[in-house]
């Protein structure tokens, strides 16, 4: 029985990898489509990037910030606003940190 379970999990690994690659290619296509349709408006591009990243990471929430001279600027947010506020995502700008 142990061998059959191992064989099933080994057999599904290539299919899982193919599924993951398709999801990644779909995300790239969505971001490129947003760039092509909004070359002068960055917000739809930021939204597409964050939507794709959130979906690929299977995350419930996320934020996208730009690093600027004055600090990090919040440009897109997804998820529960209460959770994000507790995680420190409530401010539009935050001081730059090195990590």
Residues 6+ apart with CB under 8 A from 83: 60, 61
Q: Between 7 and 80, whose confidence is greater?
A: 80
Domain contains 87? yes
| Residue 39 pLDDT level (bands cut at 50, 70, 90) | confident
In the numeric block, the tokens 């964050």 are attached to 50
In the numeric block, the tokens 């990090």 are attached to 72
- Domain count of the chain? 1
Domain contains 21? yes
Domain contains 99? no
Per residue in 56-85, pLDDT tens?
999 988 899 999 999 999 999 998 777 667
Domain contains 9? yes
Domain contains 11? yes
Domain that holds residue 74: 2-94
**What pTM was estimated for this model as a whole?**
0.68
Domain contains 43? yes
Domain contains 50? yes
DSSP element (H, E) containing 57: none
């Amino acid at each position: 029985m142990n061998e059959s379970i191992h064989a099933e999990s080994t057999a599904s690994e290539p299919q899982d990898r193919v599924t993951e690659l398709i999801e990644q290619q779909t995300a790239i296509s969505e971001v490129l489509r947003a760039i092509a349709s909004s070359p002068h408006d960055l917000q739809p591009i930021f939204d597409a990037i964050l939507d794709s990243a959130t979906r690929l990471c299977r995350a419930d929430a996320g934020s996208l910030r730009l690093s600027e001279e004055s600090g990090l600027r919040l440009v897109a947010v997804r998820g529960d606003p209460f959770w994000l506020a507790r995680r420190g995502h409530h401010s539009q700008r935050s001081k730059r940190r090195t990590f």
